[in-house]
Structure 1
Amino acid sequence: MLELSILGFLAEEPLHGYELKERIKALSGHVRPVSDGALYPAITRLIKAGKLDEHTEPGASAAPRRILSLTDRGRADLLEHLRHPKQVEITDQVRFNTVLSFLRHLPDRREQAEVLRRRLEFLTAPTSFFYEDGKPVRAEEAEDLFRQGMLRVARATGEAERAWLTDAIAQLDPPN
């Protein structure tokens, strides 16, 4: 997801490393913080792979800044990743939000809708945080107050997301 975030933010505009880190942190930092020890090696790998370009600009009042921009190869990689996210990027809420953050860069509305359909299909399957005799436990069935709370919040969030996904898919790929 770090590489997707790097490619996605640089698809919007060239940035220096600190600005890029701050944007990634704003997107998912409270849940999955990004360290310099992860970010800068990832940037180096993407430069070596020809997906990013870098040049140096003078700093405002400090040392020169390394400005990063997306190459054509990087843009193609971003689009391919958005077209075909891994299953965990569909099922994991934080990872899906990262995909969703950059899905607008995918130019084909039907392809955008297909990614949303995958998420909607996942959210439609019966599931729970807790199971009894192999069956999902619903909020009304949980005896523990705190588990009831988890299940009620998850149900409300899931209902809202399914409604939005249904609307978005209809707008992106209306039925004939």
Structure 2
Amino acid sequence: MLELSILGFLAEEPLHGYELKERITALSGHVRPVSDGALYPAINRLVAAGKLDQRTEEGASAAPRRVLSLTAQGRADLLERLRRPKQVEITDHVRFNTVLAFLRHLPDPAEQAAVLRRRLDFLETPASFFYRDGEPVRAEEAEDLFRQGMLRVARATGTAERAWLREAVEVLGQRS
């Protein structure tokens, strides 16, 4: 997801490493903070793969800054990642939000809708944080106040997300 975030933010504009880190942190840092030890090796891999260009420019103080931009190969990789997200990028809420943050870069509304339908299909499958005898436990069946709270919040969030996904798929269908 780090590489998707790097490609996605650089599709919007060239950035230097610190700006890129700040944007990635704002997107998912409260849940999964990004460290320099993860960010800069990922940037170096993408540069080595020809997906990013880098140039050096003078810094605001004295130190030069490395400015990163997306190459045509990087844009193609970004679009492919958005067209065909891995299953975990559909099922994991934080990872799906990263896909969602950059889905606008995919130019075809039908392809955008296909990604949203995958998430909707996943959310419509009965699930729970807790199971009893192989069956999902509903909030009303939870044995304690705290699990009831978790399940009620998850149900409300899921209901809202499914409603939005249906609306978005409909809007995208009108654009196709």
- Could you state the TM-score of these two structures normalised by the residue count of structure 2? 0.98
Runs (5+) with no aligned partner, structure 2: none
Deviation readout 1:29-75 (Å, 9 max, x if unpaired): 01101100000000000000000000011112121110000000000
Q: Helix, strand or coil for the counterpart of 2:69?
A: strand
Give the ranges of 4+ consecutive aligned residues of structure 1 lying more than 3 Å apart after TM superposition.
none
Written as runs of structure 1 = structure 2, the 5 A alignment for 1:28-107 is 28-107=28-107
Cα distance in 2, alignment partners of residues 15 and 157 from structure 1: 34
Asked if the contact 2:57/2:65 (under 8 Å) is kept, the reply is yes
Cα distance in 2, alignment partners of residues 60 and 135 from structure 1: 59
Cα distance in 2, alignment partners of residues 140 and 3 from structure 1: 41
Shift of 1:175: 10
Asked if the contact 2:109/2:175 (under 8 Å) is kept, the reply is no
Q: Percent identity of the aligned residues?
A: 81
Which amino acid letter does the alignment assign opposite residue 23 of structure 1? R
Shift of 1:174: 3.7
Which amino acid letter does the alignment assign opposite residue 114 of structure 1? A
Which amino acid letter does the alignment assign opposite residue 102 of structure 1? F
Cα distance in 2, alignment partners of residues 167 and 126 from structure 1: 21
Confirm or deny that 1:163 pairs with 2:166. no
Cα distance in 1, alignment partners of residues 151 and 174 from structure 2: 33
Cα distance in 2, alignment partners of residues 25 and 175 from structure 1: 32
Q: Helix, strand or coil for the counterpart of 1:173?
A: helix
> Cα RMSD over matched residues?
1.2
- Could you state the TM-score of these two structures normalised by the residue count of structure 1? 0.98
